Amino acid sequence: MAIQWFPGHMHLTKKAISDRIKNIDVVIELLDARLPGSSANPMLAELTQGRPTLKVLNKQDLADPAITTQWLAHYNSQPGTRALGLDASVSAPAKALIKECFALAPHRGGNVKPMRVLICGIPNVGKSTLINTLTGKRATKTGDEAGITKLEQRISLADDFYLYDTPGMLWPRIIVAKSGYNLAASGAIGRNAFNEEEVALELLEYLKTHYARLVEARFKLDAVAAMTDEELLGAIGRKRGALQGGNRVNMQKAAEIAIYDFRAAVMGRMTLETPEEFALWLVAGQKLDAERQVKKDAIELDRKIRFKQIPRPNSRDAS
């Protein structure tokens, strides 16, 4: 199943970013440190027109620190880009954002040329919490739910530093299938847009390979790497008492437990992708998307020919 979620207000966010970017000096893109590649919005590169970008790997306290180091090196190697890890609830590191923005746009500053920064990110990545930390007050609503912020807000962090906050935005079509599952597991996608059991199985398939000991310790299980995804989910449900009639495991309830425990990091600090893994997923997704587009174009061409909107190609012309 391909997971997609692009509610109506995200179309408005896209337009707002397109209008606002003309007067922006630096773009801050907040990423989820547990899935930095999947939580990076590919549509932003087009919308922000090559503006200097600060990639902030938020929720680093929930992520695998060794993999976070790899992702920071990956983004810091890109031109016009700086990257740092952050836990949005800690005030001192959060203030480092202002310093990094001035490093990316050293020509800005002072009342005549104040720094103008646009902060973007996927839903539920922690933007509102970060902004409240920066301002020292409840400037924006927060919550563990995708799509809390609905309107653009301008926040003054200093006399010469303006931050423009936008609602969380995904992109119209997620071509990397694994990204869809990772985004759903992290809470970035509305729960009505995916099947919890399917997402939990994909999540556990990765965790049993990369974090088997943490899963075993959390659920008091043995040899989880040798289990199938379904067996592992069933074992988790049985251990946590998610049972129904006939002593059968309620797989829906078990899935909710697995996803919740990942989001809350009670299993430990985990990251769902490395830069190398995501690069491979992206290439495969782009190839599949190109093949899908060829088929779609062929169907559309056939439709136009059948309804006589265009003439049928002549075999002599084709030669």
Reported as a single tens digit per residue, the pLDDT across 96-140 is 888 899 999 999 988 899 999 999 988 889 888 888 888 776 554
| Nearest partner of 172 among 2, 1, 11, judged by Cα | 11
Distances (CA, A) of 305 to 293, 297, 313: 18, 12, 9
Question: How many Cα neighbours within 13 Å face the side chain of 117?
Answer: 28
pLDDT at residue 137 in the model? 67
3-state secondary structure string, 264-319? CCCCCCCCCCCHHHHHHHHHHHHHHHHHHHHHHHHHHHHHHHHCCCCCCCCHHHHC
Residues of the chain with pLDDT below 50 are 140-150, 318-319
Helices 65-76 and 275-306 cross at an angle (nearest 10°) of: 60
pLDDT tens by residue, 196-227:
999 999 999 999 999 999 999 999 999 999 99
36 neighbors 130 (Cβ within 8 angstroms): no
pLDDT at residue 56 in the model? 95
Question: How many Cα neighbours within 13 Å face the side chain of 181?
Answer: 18
- Expressed in angstroms, the distance from the first to the final Cα of the chain is 41
Residue with tokens 């992702």: 71
Q: Alpha-carbon distance 29 to 127, whole Å?
A: 9
Give the domains, in start order, of the chain with CATH numbers.
11-165 (3.40.50.300), 195-263 (1.10.1580.10)
Tokens of 22: 């003309």
pLDDT at residue 145 in the model? 42
Q: Is 56 helix (H, G, I), strand (E, B) or coil?
A: strand
